[in-house]
Structure 1
């Protein structure tokens, strides 16, 4: 039944040699890997205006020069990450660059930041998309959490079906969103040029504004820079591209940068010209669309595609998180299960963990994840800074052709990214301080996992020439609950092991039960020793544990192996398992942690 449901949800398993068919072309890659960056234009300008409105609406003209500064930063990052793509064509992004050029801990800092950031990507994007829906349909406000969780479950299942299948589905909404915003910006500018839009809704550029300060402008710049989240995803996901992967990834990154620049500039300009004031009940894009089109089909088209792109922006996390996790797992800093491909050749464990963690965040914050946006943004700019700094070290060390130009580009990227990071900490410390707690904790966890894996490898290593310790024989202990075919089957198996001694152990709670079984056993299997351990406190595990202790001590002295065989019958129907075998499961769980005892289960399959 489980296999049928699984196959229905995610499709039939794919052969390993079909991996090449799961690679992305540039059009699909742009949709699936750029959705986070492109969708950020729906909230990046709004975050900037929210800071400026603390002075007054007259300060909105500052959004124009601030937007120019954000576009300069975008250009520096696009050029920098193009260089990273060609320098590290196997992917890994900030983690690999930082680890190889700056050292293990900077690499782990970058990797840990991005892992957390991709979880925040999913939570913030889906929550923002849900807000866009409830802005158009206010009656749904009370159901934000359930709507968001439903979308995450849908995206998780979609990604479990495979990269190409999810890209095929997601490409249409992404390109619809781009078309809708270009339509909005085009009509808005046309209205302005033809005089159809009022001219008195905004303060002219250059108007003196009382109360403005450099500190506030830096806050607005840092908030507007949240529109640049997701740029690094393409450099992490190079292995997902069709060959030549680095060239295709670089072209996709450039296309994403151009689209992002045009959409961001257009939204900022229209928000300024229309004098849009951010509201709790409606997004800035919603207000611009209403001002441009009114509440008609085109308004709902813009809102619908915006909601879709914000929700599907989460897919950038689903694409990049598993690949980053693979790199960390290969280096033994996180569990190896992240390197295992699922039925559809995707890294399904990473996809499932990402979906589960995102749902927890949305439930914990009751769907109001807008307060996570500064944390989300600073989690991106830390890897930005580290990756650019790592490239500086690489160019200085290797000095390839035109290395001075490459060095200048990465130095500019590093300087601006560091500035934005510091501005976030200076201006939004009350919102981003958790970074100073959870990032060191994550790095410590990475090192502990690595230490454990190294210790296991060291302990399991076979030393050539070292003779193994010879075991003289085997003592088998069989816990029994009575005289049944299940016990008989286990005794037959114990005899096949050529055991030197077989001991059946019965733990009665009543003296009468003890006496009855001893009498029946003497007639049934007089050749098998029966030990009864009366338990007045009705515990099975405690007396059995003590008995195994005593046998183990004696066996160890004589170099014998102790094996505990647990009889277990397997019901014909799966749900019947809930009615049986609880004692056997408990015994097995406790005994598995004993160093010198082998625990094995002998199944007996029921026919009815």
Structure 2
């Protein structure tokens, strides 16, 4: 039943040699890997206005020079990540750059930041999309969290079906959103040029503003930089592109940068010109659409596509998180389960982990986008900064042809990124202080996982000079715990006698009467196996059995013999039948598996009814 449902929901399994069919062309890659960056246009300009609104609408003209600063940073990041794509064509982005050029710990900081950032990508995107839905349909506002959780579940299932399939579905909303914003900007600019837009709704550029300060401007600038989140996703996901992957990835990155810059500039300018102020129950984009189009079909088209891309921008996280987790797991900093491809050739463990973590975050923050965005932006600007610094070190170390120009690009990017980080921690410390705990905690966990794998490797490594054929075999003492005379016990005894001449059956009884009865039945059964009976005054099977095994083991250690415990176990026909039987066998098994130098063998017997 489970497999049938799985096939319906996820689809048929794909062969390993079908991996090439899961590669993305530029059109699909632009949609699936740029949706996060493009969708941030819906809330990036609003974040600038939210900060400026604290001193009044007269300060809104500052959004224009702030937007220019954001565009300068965008250009620096696009040029920098284009260089990273060609320098590290196998993907990994900031993690690989920092690890190779700055050292392991810096790489882990970048990796941990990006993992947190991708979780926040999903949570912020879905929360913002839910805000767009509730702006158009206020009656849904009380159900924000439930809508967000449901949307994450749907996107998770889409990604479990495979990369190309999810890209084919998600490409349409992305391009429809770009079209909707392009129409909004063109119509809005037309109204401005023709005088149809209100001429007095905005303050004149240069208007003096009481209460404005450099601190506030920098805070607004850092908030606006949230529109640049997602720029790094393409450099992390180069293996998802069709060949030549680096060339296609670099081209897609540049196209994304051009579209992002144009849309961001247009929205900031129109929001300024129309005097659009942020509100708690309606987004700036919704107000702008209403002012330009009115509440007609074009407005609802804009809101619908905005809601879709904000929700589906989460797909950037679902594309990049599993690949980053794979790279960390390959380097033994995350569990090896993240290196395994699922039925549809995607890294399904990473996809499921991301979905669950995002749902927890949405519930914890009650779906409040504004509270999540500062964490989100800091999470991405830490790897931004480290990747820029790593590339600076790389150019200084290798000095390839034309390295001077490349160095200047990365140097400019690094200085701006570090400035923005400093602004974030100074101006929004109460909202971002958690990153100072979470990121070091991630690095600590990575190192502990790596230490574990290193320790396991040392213990499992074999010296080929020690030949098995030269090693002497040792005696094998077999212990079979029995609960009565049954078919399962018979099968286990026959197996035990096939591997050793020294077999002992052990029965734990709760009363002298039950022990006497078992001894008589055992003698009549004539198994040829000695029975040891143990009395348990407290009705515990594990206690007396473990003491007996400890005693036998101590003698075996002195003589150099091996101890094998054979566990008889019947398997019920239906899964729910197992709840009708006691689980003492599993408790014994769990205890034995933790004992040193004890071999444990399960002899299963499948029930037919």
Q: TM-score, structure 2 length as denominator?
A: 0.98
Following the alignment from structure 2 to structure 1, what is the Cα–Cα distance between the partners of residues 66 and 42?
17
- In the TM superposition, what are the counterparts of 1:188-227 in structure 2 within 5 Å? 188-227=188-227
- In the TM superposition, what are the counterparts of 1:339-358 in structure 2 within 5 Å? 339-358=339-358
- In the TM superposition, what are the counterparts of 1:439-458 in structure 2 within 5 Å? 439-458=439-458
- In the TM superposition, what are the counterparts of 1:85-484 in structure 2 within 5 Å? 85-466=85-466, 470-484=472-486
Following the alignment from structure 1 to structure 2, what is the Cα–Cα distance between the partners of residues 101 and 473?
55
Query: What displacement does 1:565 show?
Result: 1.0
1:504-552 Cα shifts (integer Å, max 9, x gaps): 1111223222221111111113521111221121211111111110111
CA RMSD in angstroms, aligned pairs only? 1.2
8 Å contact 2:475–2:561 — kept in the other structure?
Answer: yes
1:314-334 Cα shifts (integer Å, max 9, x gaps): 000000011111111111111
Following the alignment from structure 1 to structure 2, what is the Cα–Cα distance between the partners of residues 413 and 519?
85
Aligned residues: 607
8 Å contact 2:14–2:343 — kept in the other structure?
Answer: yes
Aligned mate of 2:496, from 494, 497, 506: 494
Quote the residue 1:534 is aligned against: 535
Gaps of at least 5 residues in structure 2 are: none
- SS for the counterpart of 1:209 is coil
- SS for the counterpart of 2:509 is coil
Query: What displacement does 1:470 show?
Result: 3.3
Is 2:78 the partner of 1:78? yes
Which 4+ runs in 1 deviate beyond 4 A?
Answer: none
8 Å contact 1:24–1:240 — kept in the other structure?
Answer: yes
Deviates more, 1:463-472 or 1:174-183: 463-472
Following the alignment from structure 1 to structure 2, what is the Cα–Cα distance between the partners of residues 70 and 526?
84
Following the alignment from structure 2 to structure 1, what is the Cα–Cα distance between the partners of residues 479 and 146?
52
Following the alignment from structure 2 to structure 1, what is the Cα–Cα distance between the partners of residues 601 and 118?
42
Is 2:14 the partner of 1:11? no
- SS for the counterpart of 1:538 is coil
Query: What displacement does 1:472 show?
Result: 2.1
Quote the residue 1:549 is aligned against: 550
Following the alignment from structure 2 to structure 1, what is the Cα–Cα distance between the partners of residues 474 and 108?
49
Following the alignment from structure 2 to structure 1, what is the Cα–Cα distance between the partners of residues 527 and 573?
32
Query: What displacement does 1:370 show?
Result: 2.4
Following the alignment from structure 2 to structure 1, what is the Cα–Cα distance between the partners of residues 580 and 183?
63
Query: What displacement does 1:73 show?
Result: 0.5
- SS for the counterpart of 1:54 is helix
Following the alignment from structure 1 to structure 2, what is the Cα–Cα distance between the partners of residues 7 and 246?
34
Quote the residue 1:570 is aligned against: 571
8 Å contact 1:362–1:369 — kept in the other structure?
Answer: no
- SS for the counterpart of 2:602 is strand
Deviates more, 1:424-433 or 1:192-201: 192-201
Deviates more, 1:59-68 or 1:538-547: 538-547
- SS for the counterpart of 2:604 is strand
Quote the residue 1:588 is aligned against: 589
Query: What displacement does 1:39 show?
Result: 0.4
Gaps of at least 5 residues in structure 1 are: none
Following the alignment from structure 1 to structure 2, what is the Cα–Cα distance between the partners of residues 458 and 247?
41
Query: What displacement does 1:467 show?
Result: 6.0
8 Å contact 1:94–1:110 — kept in the other structure?
Answer: yes
8 Å contact 2:510–2:536 — kept in the other structure?
Answer: yes
Following the alignment from structure 2 to structure 1, what is the Cα–Cα distance between the partners of residues 373 and 56?
23
Following the alignment from structure 2 to structure 1, what is the Cα–Cα distance between the partners of residues 70 and 369?
23
8 Å contact 2:365–2:372 — kept in the other structure?
Answer: no
8 Å contact 2:571–2:604 — kept in the other structure?
Answer: yes
Following the alignment from structure 1 to structure 2, what is the Cα–Cα distance between the partners of residues 85 and 223?
27
8 Å contact 2:94–2:383 — kept in the other structure?
Answer: yes
Quote the residue 1:514 is aligned against: 515
Query: What displacement does 1:581 show?
Result: 5.6
Following the alignment from structure 2 to structure 1, what is the Cα–Cα distance between the partners of residues 506 and 447?
45
8 Å contact 1:572–1:605 — kept in the other structure?
Answer: yes
Following the alignment from structure 1 to structure 2, what is the Cα–Cα distance between the partners of residues 598 and 65?
72
Following the alignment from structure 1 to structure 2, what is the Cα–Cα distance between the partners of residues 97 and 607?
58
Following the alignment from structure 1 to structure 2, what is the Cα–Cα distance between the partners of residues 368 and 525?
73
- SS for the counterpart of 1:77 is helix
Deviates more, 1:515-524 or 1:224-233: 515-524
Quote the residue 2:68 is aligned against: 68
- SS for the counterpart of 1:533 is strand
8 Å contact 1:471–1:561 — kept in the other structure?
Answer: no
